[in-house]
Amino acid sequence: MDFYSISGNEGFIVYGAGFQGQQICDNLLKNNIKVEAFLDRRVKTASPIYTSAPEFQGDRNLPSVLNEIPVFHPDSMGDVKAENIVIIAVTNPYEHPIIADMLYTMGYRKILCSLPSNGWKRQGIEENNEIYNLIAQGVSPIGKEAVYYDDMRLMEKHLTDMMDVVDEKTCMAQIPMELLFYTDSDGKEKSIYAEDGLLPFYNFIEGRGEKEFLVLRGHLQDNGIDINRWMETKAVNYFQLSQEWENGENNQSDLPFVERIDRGRFLIKSHLERIIFYVAKGYHRIYCKLTQSDYIKWDKPELINEVWQTIMRQRISCVYTPVLYPAFYWFQCRRESYGHSRLMRICRYFVEKEISLDGKKVLDAGAYVGYFAQHMYRMGAAVTAVEFDTDNYELLCAISSLVDCNGIKTLNIGIQEMDENEFYDVTILLTVLYWHFDTDLGLKLMEKIDKLTKGILLWESGDEPEREKQWIFDHSSFNAYEKIGDTFGTQKLREMGVFYRV
């Protein structure tokens, strides 16, 4: 590990300009340590950090100067000075790793924050936490040796350093729900999100999914099953799980066991009903047990490093969709990270309409970094992911390799440049068209998508869904539409649904 000594002349930057940030700033100044600036996301725009007159267009009444120290939005920073030390002054300690990762990708290497030691088996945490606590208490950190954040991150690049051992053969780890698959009664491997025997009922208890529940009732009735008795039994199981969940009664014996990992899918052998319960509750990750040998196979330090290097080279402070790998669980994500996500709702639509993707051709038009394309690939589809932006495409390829989705065909071209002789059963067009639908480019995009899509078009709007829907009808051969639901993302109220032809 590499250490740096705190001299007091480096120039501290305080992340967070609220009460805690001002208190830490005061503590530093009292110890004759220079504070260059505050960083705070409540400032919407600002000039580069080392100018004398920051521009302010903020909210929440946050001033652009506190005690003669400028306040800047993190994304408005100019060149980062390598000697600067950033100290995170946010009240919730669970936000510290997320903010630290963001600052790291922006070029900062000297980051002081409060990192949780439980589950983070990385060197340097205790040393840096001690320095952080000294500053918070008003004690001078001058002369202390701190660890560069690079080295703490590098420790996380090997999953084996974070292995939570259960016994000599097994361990446990948090697995994203998107990666969990099970084998149904017909021997088919299905995504947990596409489970059709129990999840519709649990979702119905949670107050959603009435249509798919009616489909389930029809199947039960067709198979001669007493619906009332079936629902009574399953409801008892549900409320028993709820009581355990509310009382925190889970233990290692209750953890699902991963039988094997295949094509990035974690195939579950036990506790399916418990997993479905957590899906209905909106959980996005769950602890599972797996063999230590499978866990070690999951460890891909070179590919992790490739993704991190791409993120840092592009200075990305957050992504819009999750990177489904432990080294990136803390990385800030704007969508699909909580509640009943778009992907869940798309999978539930497939269940309701009895659509199987096995062997189907899927086009993800404007794939971003591949989150949806990767899930369709895991569900058995032959997927083509098209991403015009070179930076996004680079990250799409790196992440797809990391999560074992190398079979996705990736294209770094515009949609309008695609081969007209290729046809797709499903096209995904999420938050893409609204940028262009009143332009010549928009007309070309819609014309090409109309030709390529022989089945359904999964679509999400911008903030004018009715206008955008009508525009699609006016400029394509799609003549029917079914709404999946209202969505919200990047400060816009949106709509998601399916276009098709009748």
pLDDT in tens, 21-63: 999 999 999 999 989 888 887 775 433 333 333 333 334 445 5
pLDDT for 243: 86
Under 8 Å CB-to-CB from 219, ≥6 apart: which residues? 196
The pLDDT confidence band at residue 128, using thresholds 50, 70 and 90, is: confident
The pLDDT confidence band at residue 120, using thresholds 50, 70 and 90, is: very low
How many CB atoms are located within 10 Å of the residue 442 CB?
Answer: 18
How many angstroms separate the CA atoms of 53 and 46, rounded? 9
Lowest mean pLDDT segment, chosen from 32-46, 124-138, 420-434? 32-46
Indicate the SS3 state at residue 144: coil
What tokens were used for 417?
């440049």
Query: Rounded to the nearest 5°, which phi and psi values hold at 258?
Result: -85, 115
pLDDT for 122: 54
pTM (2 d.p.):
0.77
363: left (phi over 0), alpha (psi -120 to 50) or beta: beta
pLDDT for 162: 63
Contact yes or no for 322/176 (Cβ under 8 A): yes
pLDDT for 59: 41
Q: Which residue has the higher pLDDT, 396 or 80?
A: 396
| Most confident stretch, 316-320, 381-385, 488-492 | 381-385
Sequence letter at residue 31: N
Q: Is the pLDDT of residue 156 over 70?
A: no
How many angstroms separate the CA atoms of 174 and 152, rounded? 20
Q: In what order do the strands lie in the sheet with 35-39?
A: 65-66, 69-72, 35-39, 12-15, 85-88, 111-112
Q: Is the pLDDT of residue 153 over 80?
A: no
**Which whole number is the average pLDDT over 311-319?**
81
Query: What one-character-per-residue DSSP string does 16-67 give?
Result: --SHHHHHHHHHHHHTT--EEEEE-TT------TTSSS-----STT--SEET
The pLDDT confidence band at residue 249, using thresholds 50, 70 and 90, is: low
pLDDT for 167: 87
Lowest mean pLDDT segment, chosen from 60-69, 258-267, 284-293, 456-465? 60-69
Q: Which residue has the higher pLDDT, 365 or 55?
A: 365
What domains sit in the chain, N to C, each tagged with a CATH number?
Answer: 3-155 (3.40.50.20), 170-297 (no CATH), 303-500 (3.40.50.150)
The pLDDT confidence band at residue 159, using thresholds 50, 70 and 90, is: low
pLDDT for 56: 36
pLDDT for 150: 75
287-326 in b/e form (b: 16+ CB < 10 A) is ebbbbbebbeebbbeebbebbbebbeeeebbebbbbbbbb
Q: Is the pLDDT of residue 425 over 80?
A: yes
Contact yes or no for 36/19 (Cβ under 8 A): no
149-170 in b/e form (b: 16+ CB < 10 A) is bbebbbbbbbbeebbeeeeeeb
The pLDDT confidence band at residue 203, using thresholds 50, 70 and 90, is: confident
Query: What one-character-per-residue DSSP string does 108-136 give?
Result: ---EE-----TT---TTHHHHHHHHHHHH
Contact yes or no for 383/428 (Cβ under 8 A): no
Indicate the SS3 state at residue 500: strand
Q: Is the pLDDT of residue 7 over 80?
A: yes
The pLDDT confidence band at residue 374, using thresholds 50, 70 and 90, is: very high
How many angstroms separate the CA atoms of 98 and 347, rounded? 29
How many CB atoms are located within 10 Å of the residue 255 CB?
Answer: 20
How many angstroms separate the CA atoms of 206 and 213, rounded? 12
Q: Where are the beta strands (DSSP E) in 189-344?
A: 189-191, 258-262, 265-268, 285-291
What DSSP state is assigned to residue 80? P
| Most confident stretch, 27-36, 87-96, 386-395 | 386-395
Average pLDDT, the chain: 85
**Which whole number is the average pLDDT over 79-83?**
65
Under 8 Å CB-to-CB from 322, ≥6 apart: which residues? 176, 178, 284, 328, 333, 336, 337, 371
Sequence letter at residue 51: T
Query: What one-character-per-residue DSSP string does 157-222 give?
Result: T-GGGG-EESSSSEEEEEEEGGGEEEE-TTS-EEEGGG--SSHHHHHHHTT--HHHHHHHHHHHHH
pLDDT for 61: 42
What tokens were used for 147?
């660890």
Percent of the chain with pLDDT over 90: 44
Contact yes or no for 481/466 (Cβ under 8 A): no
Q: Is the pLDDT of residue 204 over 90?
A: no
How many CB atoms are located within 10 Å of the residue 388 CB?
Answer: 17
What tokens were used for 92?
């919730």
Under 8 Å CB-to-CB from 429, ≥6 apart: which residues? 365, 366, 449, 457, 458, 459, 460
Place of tokens 């058995």: 380
Q: Is the pLDDT of residue 501 over 50?
A: yes
pLDDT for 9: 82
Q: In what order do the strands lie in the sheet with 258-262?
A: 189-191, 180-183, 265-268, 258-262
Q: Is the pLDDT of residue 126 over 90?
A: no
What tokens were used for 338?
């909580």
**Which whole number is the average pLDDT over 5-29?**
90
Contact yes or no for 329/483 (Cβ under 8 A): no
Packing angle, helices 371-378 and 390-402, rounded to 10 = 30
Query: What one-character-per-residue DSSP string does 342-381 give?
Result: HHHHHHHHHHHTT---TT-EEEEET-TTSHHHHHHHHTT-
C-alpha distances out from residue 212 to 145, 183, 209, 351, 502, Å? 59, 20, 6, 7, 22
